[in-house]
Amino acid sequence: MNILKPFTKEPAFVNREDELAYLETWISARPENILFLYGPKSSGKTTLIYRFIDRNLSKGGYDIKHFNLRELLLVNYESFLQAFFEIKEREQVKEARQYDLKVFKLGVETLKGLESRELDPFVVMKKELEKSNKKGIRPVIIIDELQALDEIYFNGGRELANEMVNFFVAMTKESHLCHVIIASSDGYFIERIYQDSKLKKTSEFMEVEYLHQTDVMDWLNNLDRYSKIDRFVLNNCQSEAIWNFFGGSCWEISNFLGNLLNIAKDGRILDDEFNGLLEKKLIFFRSMFVEYATIEPEKEQLLFKIAGLISDHPAKGFTFNELRSLVEDDVWSISALRTELNRLVRKNFLSYAPPRAEYALQGRSMELGLDAYVKMIGDGKGRMSNI
C-alpha cells in the first residue's frame, strides 16, 4: 500500500485572536443585525470564518449553513436554487458535525414549488429557520463572496442579492431567528447593497485587515510551526524583504514561500535567487497596470493620481473627493469615474472600506507595482510627472 508523503507546505493561520474574540461575543448575543466581514483580497477572511466555525460552532447547538459562493457557478435563479436547496432523503444519515449540512434540505414537493416559482425561496427559508429554533438549535447563515449573486433576478425582476439582504434583516433585527455573517472582498458591492437595502441601523461591519508586521515576522521566523516548512530557514534580511514586498497579505506570502521551496538548497535560500524571484514578482505586478491602462490617457492619469495620493499619505486610503482634479480637468466625468473605481475594485486592483468610504490598493505588492508602472511611464512622458 502506498503511503502519501506529508505536504511540504500547509496554509498558515497566524494570530487573529482579537477577531475571533469579537466573533465569539457577537454570536453569543441574540440575533439583531447582519455582520458584514470586509477587507482586501487575501487578508484571510475565509480562513478566519473556517477557524471560527471549528473553534466556536462545531461543538453542537448550531445549525451552520455556510455558502462559499466563490466555489459555485451562479448564473441564474435555477443555479441559485441548486446551491441553496436540496432534496431531503427519507433515510438521511445524521452527520456528526452539523456545519457540514450547508444547505436547506427540503421535501420533493417543496423543491418543485421553488423550481416552478410558485413558492418564494425566502418564505421557505424562514420556515426552515423556525423549525431549527423550535428544536432549540441556533441557525447561523454564513455567505462568503455575496457579490456572486449580483445581476441574478427572480419573480417579477427582483434582484436576488438585494432581496436576500432584506430577508436577512427580517430574520435578524425583526424575528431574531438566526445569525447572519456576510463576507466579501468587494467592498464596493457591499456599499451598494448597504445603500439599496437601507441597512444603516441593521448591520455591523468588521474589517479583516492584513496581518501586522509582528505577526508576519513571527510566521516567517517559525515556518515549521505555522506552515510545516522544514526544507529551509529564512535569514533576517529575507524575512524583512518579504514583509516589505507583500506586507501582511496571507495568500501572497504563502504563495511566495511555495516558490522558495523550488530553490531551497541545504536548508537555506541563496540571496541572488531570492532577489530574482522578487524581481519577477515586481515585473508581474507592474504588468498588471500596463495591461489595465494600455495607451488610454484617462486611465494613465487615474493611476498617476492614485499613486500620488498614496505617496502623500501611505498609511491610509483615499476618498472619491480626493480625485476631484480628474473631474475638474475633464479627464473623467463623475459617473464614469465612479464606474471605473468600481471596476478596479472588482478586478482586485483596489479595495474599498464602506464605513470610511475609502479606497486603497490591494496590498503592498500592488503599491510597488503601481510605483514601478509610474516610473516606467513617467520617464517617457514628462507631462505625467506633475500630476
pLDDT in tens, 312-325: 887 789 999 999 99
336 in the same domain as 249? no
Q: Which residues pair with 206 in a beta bridge?
A: 37
Mean of pLDDT values over 83-90: 73
What global pTM score does this model have?
0.88
251 in the same domain as 114? no
- By DSSP bridging, strand 179-184 and strand 153-154 are unpaired
Residue 282 and residue 315 in contact, taking contact as beta carbons nearer than 8 Å: no
Residue 10 lies in a domain: no
* pLDDT range class, residue 93, cuts 50, 70, 90: very low
Strand segments, DSSP code E, in 73-219 are: 85-87, 104-106, 138-144, 153-154, 158-159, 179-184, 203-207
110 in the same domain as 71? yes
| Domain termination residue (choose one: 207, 222, 245) | 207
376 in the same domain as 323? yes
Residue 244 lies in a domain: yes
Mean of pLDDT values over 214-235: 97
Residue 216 and residue 249 in contact, taking contact as beta carbons nearer than 8 Å: no
Residue 58 lies in a domain: yes
Counting Cα atoms < 13 Å in the Cβ hemisphere of 347 gives 13
Extract the C-alpha cell encoding 55. 473553534
82 in the same domain as 157? yes
Q: At what angle do helices 250-261 and 213-220 cross, to 10 degrees?
A: 20
Per-residue pLDDT tens digits for 350-371: 999 988 899 999 999 999 999 9
pLDDT higher than threshold 50 for residue 330: yes
Among residues 365, 355, 328, 322, the alpha carbon closest in space to that of 341 is found at 322
Per-residue pLDDT tens digits for 140-184: 999 998 888 888 888 777 888 888 999 999 999 999 999 999 998
pLDDT higher than threshold 70 for residue 385: no
Long-range own/partner contacts, residues 319-326 (CB < 8 A, 24 or more apart):
319/357, 319/358, 319/359, 320/357, 320/359, 326/301, 326/302
Among 21-30, 95-104, 267-276, name the one with the lowest average pLDDT.
95-104
Among residues 185, 138, 147, the alpha carbon closest in space to that of 27 is found at 138
* pLDDT range class, residue 102, cuts 50, 70, 90: low
Residue 282 lies in a domain: no
Mean of pLDDT values over 24-53: 93
pLDDT of residue 380: 56
Boundaries of domain holding 313: 289-384
pLDDT of residue 155: 74
Residue 9 lies in a domain: no
Which CATH number is 350's domain given? 1.10.10.10
| Domain termination residue (choose one: 181, 207, 233) | 207
Residue 7 lies in a domain: no
Q: Cα 158 to chain center, whole Å?
A: 25
164 in the same domain as 22? yes
130 in the same domain as 50? yes
Residue 315 lies in a domain: yes
Residue 366 lies in a domain: yes
89 in the same domain as 22? yes
Among residues 188, 365, 198, the alpha carbon closest in space to that of 284 is found at 365
* pLDDT range class, residue 337, cuts 50, 70, 90: very high
320 in the same domain as 254? no
* pLDDT range class, residue 89, cuts 50, 70, 90: low
Mean of pLDDT values over 41-46: 90
357 in the same domain as 219? no
134 in the same domain as 243? no
The count of structural domains within the chain is 3
74 in the same domain as 32? yes
